[in-house]
A and B are shown apart, each in its own frame.
Chain A
Amino acid sequence: MSILLNKNSKVIVQGFTGSEGTFHAQQMIEYGTNVVGGVTPSKGGYKHLDRPVFNTVSDAVQETGADVSIIFVPPLFAADAIMEAADAHIKLIICITEGIPVRDMVLVKKYLNSRACTLIGPNCPGVITPDEAKVGIMPGFIFKKGRIGLISKSGTLTYEATDQIVKAGLGISTAVGIGGDPVIGTTTKEVLNLFLNDPDTDAVVMIGEIGGNMEIEAARWFKTGGIKKPIVGFIAGQTAPPGRRMGHAGAIIGGAEDTARVKMKIMSECGVSIVESPADIGKKIASLCKK
């Protein structure tokens, strides 16, 4: 078991024939992900990377039985691509695209409410279940299979945490990059819930950042919930000035609960083991797992 993704996942790539789509599809195939085809409107019928190209997601689903889609479509067309995937009954939609207008995502979020699918991202590195499937842009080789679940808003910080976890002698059950935009498909709390219910995940590393209150929501929910597993938390942006956007569209201190200090304090009160330095993530999770 793992969450969201496993070796049976059948993956299509939206924006398959573009440069990003091609490069990362190739990488995913090399990792061993079961990429069954892709979608590029008006290129249906061709082959790309030795796999069929379809005009629409519904064609792709019908022909290949795909249940996961990864999206590499330019920002102004990405919302449409997400809704197309949802309409075609894709179960897990992972949107890598950065720079989607907020208004588009507000509509997408509402559209997905009544549909049985999970959106991860946008503006995220994707999801990986080591040794089974990588649906994202992360460097696969740094991930070793193990029993730590990883939730993160950012890309390279996810790799950093993974590297520390692996060097501490542990491994990853599944790593989920939920994305750094103000409106994202799946929240920290929702992913945490999946990990707490996953028998193959023993502990969780939760990496957040300034902006919004998702980490606080997850921590408060964890405190009142029934299932307890060790959680290590880190919030990036302790030194970020208020009101300034720090790279990610969502990384901005807007209100009193948005600061790293407040988030870490509340998370700690809710039973999350907080590390102040990003260099201590691996050490901390190792110490909790040895107890």
Chain B
Amino acid sequence: MNLHEYQAKELLKKYNVAVQDGIAVEDVKSADDAYRHIKNKTNNPFVVIKAQIHAGGRGKGRFVGTDVPGVKVVKNIDEATRLAKDMLGNVLVTKQTGKDGKRVNKIFIAEDMYYKGISDIKEYYLSILLDRSTSQYVIVYSQQGGMDIEEVSANQPDKILKEYIDPTVGLQPFQIRRMAFALGLTSDAFKSFQKFVTNLYNAFIDIDCAMLEINPLFKTSDNKIVAVDCKMNIDDNALTRHPELLNLRDTNEEDPTEVEAGQYNLNYVKLEGNVGCMVNGAGLAMATMDMIKLSGGDPANFLDIGGGANAQTVEAGFKIILKDPHVRAILINIFGGIVRCDRVATGIIEAYKKLGNISVPIIVRLQGTNAEEAKKIIQDSGLKVTSAILLSEASQLVRQAIS
């Protein structure tokens, strides 16, 4: 589960992680109040306004039809009001949102951290994530902060440093010292960094994060280390032990059909293609998508209906797929193991009849227990459904259906 910047920062504050603080608002009036509040608190008229969407690249992104960026500094209340109006309810397009962009419903009015002082400011990069090849958490950090880390990784791989964490003892002080020295931190900034990383790691573990990225990790001119931006992703499998985090989910950020599929306990991912598919099992579902592509079509979705594959799940699957107007054919691919194919076939026919006029051709491929009986049931149903047993046959039928 992805969180918004403002939500992640609220959580981090509970673990005494220093963050660029602010107030999240949904309307212009509240934005004005928040501006005044932050200005008085920091005694600085410069305030940053940040659009809250689940996508990076906000600073370089632009609101549709304008040159307003997703993150901007304002220096008085009039500018704040105007910017809040330009952002709220409008669509922001960034490198990560795709061309349709994302509608901004919330903005974060935050302190300006780039004030002048006794030393230079500096932007670093730090993230904590799972290293799959060693099955350990790793801290990835760099002197090159505030920019796209993928680019740093591609162009200057030697600038990316890593610290692997032994899960039984956790992150050790010597590791944090090594990181601080590698970043060139001294005196107060060194101490501030030690406290920051210790608390950040504790938060990561305690919240069951899948990924926590601080970019930029910032050194202020008075040598404090703070998180200026924060991306947090929580391990979905761990949410059952953090029920208090469930209400942080923002379904506005998700595809509405995917949200609906979730309510039926279906695993659905919307894609751009023209052939819908419904499959039991995630691996077979991906393989089926690949086969659709090789047959000359384009998969319209990923849909795993799970092991059961009964009339109810098939019906829900049909409903979800048919919401997509681009779908020109539907392939149902079920490998019946413990669930028998003849029962699945009966379920498909039941669901089909219940839904009534399905106008796109349907190809049903049932293989496994009682596959022959299942094929007969489909053929005898008199419905506009073609049937296959072998995967290669199904591939041929897809090719015919869309040609």
Please give the distance in Å from A270's CB to the nearest CB on chain B. 17
Q: A207 in the interface, Cβ–Cβ < 8 Å?
A: yes
Within 8 A of A (CB), among B265-289: 267, 269, 271, 273, 279-289
- When chains A and B are docked, how far (Å) is the Cα of A211 from the Cα of B287? 14
- Given A139-B369, A152-B283, A277-B294, the answer on whether A159 and B337 have CB atoms closer than 8 Å is yes
Residues of chain B within 8 A (CB-CB) of A210 are: 286
Contact with A along B361-395 (1 / 0, CB 8 A): 00000011100000000000000000000111011
Contact with A along B204-244 (1 / 0, CB 8 A): 01001010000000000000000000000001111011000
Q: Of the candidates A75, A110, A246, which one forms a contact with B269 in the assembled complex, judged by CB atoms under 8 Å apart?
A: A246
- Given A109-B135, A159-B368, A278-B391, the answer on whether A247 and B285 have CB atoms closer than 8 Å is yes
Contact with B along A224-251 (1 / 0, CB 8 A): 0000000000101111110011111111
- When chains A and B are docked, how far (Å) is the Cα of A246 from the Cα of B392? 23
- Given A103-B205, A106-B137, A180-B282, the answer on whether A239 and B293 have CB atoms closer than 8 Å is yes
Q: A107 in the interface, Cβ–Cβ < 8 Å?
A: yes
By the criterion CB–CB under 8 Å, are A279 and B390 in contact? yes
By the criterion CB–CB under 8 Å, are B335 and A156 in contact? yes
- When chains A and B are docked, how far (Å) is the Cα of A237 from the Cα of B238? 25
Q: B302 in the interface, Cβ–Cβ < 8 Å?
A: yes
- When chains A and B are docked, how far (Å) is the Cα of A250 from the Cα of B130? 11
By the criterion CB–CB under 8 Å, are A110 and B167 in contact? yes
- Taking CB as reference atom, which chain B residue is nearest A110? B167
- When chains A and B are docked, how far (Å) is the Cα of A155 from the Cα of B287? 12
By the criterion CB–CB under 8 Å, are A156 and B281 in contact? yes
- Given A110-B167, A237-B286, the answer on whether A163 and B130 have CB atoms closer than 8 Å is no
By the criterion CB–CB under 8 Å, are B290 and A278 in contact? yes
By the criterion CB–CB under 8 Å, are B293 and A100 in contact? no
- Given A106-B167, A213-B132, the answer on whether A277 and B290 have CB atoms closer than 8 Å is yes
- When chains A and B are docked, how far (Å) is the Cα of A217 from the Cα of B131? 14
Residues of chain A within 8 A (CB-CB) of B290 are: 236-239, 260, 276-278
Residues of chain B within 8 A (CB-CB) of A163 are: 335, 367-368
- When chains A and B are docked, how far (Å) is the Cα of A277 from the Cα of B267? 23
Contact with B along A177-214 (1 / 0, CB 8 A): 00010110000000000000000000000010111111
By the criterion CB–CB under 8 Å, are A236 and B283 in contact? yes
Please give the distance in Å from B161's CB to the nearest CB on chain A. 17
- Taking CB as reference atom, which chain B residue is nearest A244? B269
Q: A102 in the interface, Cβ–Cβ < 8 Å?
A: yes
By the criterion CB–CB under 8 Å, are A156 and B283 in contact? yes
By the criterion CB–CB under 8 Å, are A249 and B237 in contact? yes
Q: B357 in the interface, Cβ–Cβ < 8 Å?
A: no
Residues of chain A within 8 A (CB-CB) of B237 are: 75, 99-102, 249
- Taking CB as reference atom, which chain A residue is nearest B302? A246
Within 8 A of A (CB), among B130-185: 130, 132-133, 135-137, 166-168
Q: B28 in the interface, Cβ–Cβ < 8 Å?
A: no
Please give the distance in Å from B170's CB to the nearest CB on chain A. 11
Q: B292 in the interface, Cβ–Cβ < 8 Å?
A: yes
Within 8 A of A (CB), among B285-317: 285-294, 298-299, 302, 304, 307
- Taking CB as reference atom, which chain B residue is nearest A213? B133
Residues of chain B within 8 A (CB-CB) of A27 are: 338
Residues of chain A within 8 A (CB-CB) of B392 are: 279-280
- Taking CB as reference atom, which chain A residue is nearest B271? A241
- When chains A and B are docked, how far (Å) is the Cα of A141 from the Cα of B167? 42
Q: A138 in the interface, Cβ–Cβ < 8 Å?
A: yes
Please give the distance in Å from B136's CB to the nearest CB on chain A. 6
- When chains A and B are docked, how far (Å) is the Cα of A182 from the Cα of B129? 12
Q: A142 in the interface, Cβ–Cβ < 8 Å?
A: yes
Please give the distance in Å from A154's CB to the nearest CB on chain B. 2
Contact with B along A156-186 (1 / 0, CB 8 A): 1111100110000000000000001011000
Q: Of the candidates A111, A238, A247, A277, which one forms a contact with B282 in the assembled complex, judged by CB atoms under 8 Å apart?
A: A247
Residues of chain A within 8 A (CB-CB) of B136 are: 106, 110
By the criterion CB–CB under 8 Å, are B167 and A107 in contact? yes
Q: A153 in the interface, Cβ–Cβ < 8 Å?
A: yes
By the criterion CB–CB under 8 Å, are B238 and A159 in contact? no
Interface centre among A109, A234, A240 (most CB of B within 10 A): A240
- When chains A and B are docked, how far (Å) is the Cα of A247 from the Cα of B301? 12
Q: A137 in the interface, Cβ–Cβ < 8 Å?
A: yes
- Taking CB as reference atom, which chain A residue is nearest B238? A101
By the criterion CB–CB under 8 Å, are B130 and A183 in contact? yes
Residues of chain B within 8 A (CB-CB) of A182 are: 130, 132
By the criterion CB–CB under 8 Å, are B281 and A157 in contact? yes
Within 8 A of A (CB), among B309-339: 335-338
Interface centre among B168, B271, B291, B394 (most CB of A within 10 A): B291
Please give the distance in Å from B254's CB to the nearest CB on chain A. 11
By the criterion CB–CB under 8 Å, are B167 and A249 in contact? no
Q: A105 in the interface, Cβ–Cβ < 8 Å?
A: yes
- When chains A and B are docked, how far (Å) is the Cα of A110 from the Cα of B283? 27
Query: What is B's interface to A at a CB cutoff of 8 Å?
Result: 130, 132-133, 135-137, 166-168, 205, 208, 210, 235-238, 240-241, 267, 269, 271, 273, 279-294, 298-299, 302, 304, 307, 335-338, 367-369, 390-392, 394-395
Can you list 11 A-B pairs with a CB-CB distance of less than 8 A? A101-B238, A110-B135, A155-B283, A156-B281, A213-B132, A236-B284, A237-B290, A246-B285, A247-B304, A278-B287, A279-B394
Apart from A107-B167, A141-B369, 10 more pairs, CB < 8 Å: A76-B240, A139-B338, A183-B135, A213-B133, A237-B286, A241-B271, A244-B269, A247-B267, A251-B286, A278-B290
List 7 tightest A-B contacts by C-beta distance, closest first: A154-B283, A247-B282, A156-B281, A139-B337, A157-B283, A101-B238, A236-B286
